[in-house]
Amino acid sequence: MNATNLESIARALVAPGKGILAADESTPTITKRFQTINLLSTEDTRRAYREMLFTAPGLEEFIGGVILFDETIRQRSSDDEPLVDILKKKGIIPGIKVDKGTKPLAGFPGEKITEGLDGLRERLPEYVKMGARFTKWRAVIAIGQGIPTETCVSANAHALARFAALSQEAGLVPIVEPEVLMDGDHTMGHCEDVTRMMLHTVFKELAAHRVAIENMLLKVNMITAGKNYGQQPNVPDVADATLRCLAGTVPNSLPGIVFLSGGQDDVLATQRLNAMNQFDNVPWQLGFSFARALQAPALQAWNGEHIRAGHLALLHRAQCNSAARFGRYSEEMETERMAA
Ligand code: 13P
């Protein structure tokens, strides 16, 4: 696949009004989510849940891409159709999480490094064959006493850059995700400083590894206070701080930035995305790649069996976030229930 194709895939993933559904929870993470509805996590319940998400009628109006987990990209629906084909038929671009999760960084208590580079070059062509057109790798940076350290930031940035270079080599659009966690009682200013340092280091490494910026996407946290910080910032302040941080660190040639939800309340995540999309003259598309903020209501509504209720809940959140991409979301949308 040539470079022009990679850029057009990156641009399609952040087309106006569209977002990315992150459905790439690892088995331990989806098991934790299923515990909230008292559902046993088995290969089949995970398949049934993802099948419910992907078959939501009209999902393609709001969702341009879905990030899958390795198990899911190999699964078939109850009608024996590959789950990937359900997405492809709707014009939704399938993607794949290729990192192997985080491990404690040796010698740096409280810090993590993302693993998965070994053998990655060999794994990628199989994903291309199975229909994936983009990849994702998530690095996590925690804020705490004396952390993050420069070592943790640069080790994770280095891994992100190597992942991105290997993905582009294989003809896949990398989504580079450095996530500064919301855990803790830090201020919004502290989150902004750490995110700025992380992004600065990530783009330096990407350049050093000759990653084509126009052929990738950035997935990042919004700038907000830690979950346990007393006073949560208001929506305009989050939008201002986030755009200020990005403006100082992200090259204009990047096609788009997609935000993760990171444990924010789902409606708040939509409000903040909406506020950012009301700014003029932003050089990048400002999209979303939410897992929890798109799926949480759908998981509760589905509750292991109610497919139509799950569809309606997912479509509702997807529609709200799609409106937020144009800065046209309003709270009234929360009370209107769209007809499927
Ligand atoms: P959340 O939106 O739940 O943070 O998940 C996004 C994601 O893909 C994390 O890697």
Write out 219-284 in H/E/C secondary structure.
EECCCCCCCCCCCCCCHHHHHHHHHHHHHCCCCCCCCEEEECCCCCCHHHHHHHHHHHCCCCCCCC
Closest ligand 1 atom number to CA of residue 294: 2
Interatomic CA distance for residues 127 and 96, integer angstroms: 8
Residue 71 CA, chain-centre distance (Å), reads 18
Q: What torsion, rounded to 10 degrees, do the Cα atoms 329, 174, 176, 246 define?
A: -50
Determine contact, residues 237/224, Cβ cutoff 8 Å.
Answer: no
If one residue of 289, 295, 317, 321 were mutated to test the ligand 1 pocket, choosing by the most ligand atoms within 8 A of its CB, it would be 289
| Candidate of 112, 179, 290, 299 to mutate for ligand 1, largest count of ligand atoms within 8 Å of Cβ | 290
Residue nearest to atom 5 of ligand 1 (CA): 291
Ligand 1 centroid–CA 288 distance in Å is 10
What pLDDT, on the 0 to 100 scale, is given for residue 339?
46
What is the model's pLDDT at position 337? 62
pLDDT of residue 340: 44
CA of residue 290 to ligand 1 center, whole Å: 5
Select from 30, 218, 261 the residue to mutate for testing ligand 1; criterion: most ligand atoms less than 8 Å from CB.
Answer: 261
Look at ligand 1, atom 4, and give the residue with the nearest C-alpha: 262
Distance 183 CA to ligand 1 centre (A): 14
Q: What is the pLDDT of residue 135?
A: 99
Q: Return the pLDDT at 3.
A: 52
> Which ligand 1 atom lies nearest to the CA of residue 177?
10
Cα separation, 71 vs 85, whole angstroms: 15
Contact 109, 152 (CB under 8 A): no
Residues assigned a catalytic role: 177, 219
Mean pLDDT by 10-residue block, N- to C-terminus, for the chain (340 residues)?
A: 80 98 98 98 98 98 98 98 98 98 98 98 98 98 98 98 99 98 98 98 98 98 97 96 97 98 97 98 98 98 98 98 98 75
Joined together, the tokens standing for residue 261 give 């939800």
Residues 115-131: b if buried by 16+ CB within 10 A, e if exposed? ebbeebeebbeebeeeb
pTM: 0.97
Q: For residue 127, give the nearest of 294, 259, 1, 291 by alpha carbon.
A: 1
Helix (H) or strand (E) holding 178: strand 173-180
207 alpha carbon to ligand 1 midpoint, in Å?
25
Whether the Cβ atoms of residue 265 and residue 295 lie closer than 8 Å to each other: no
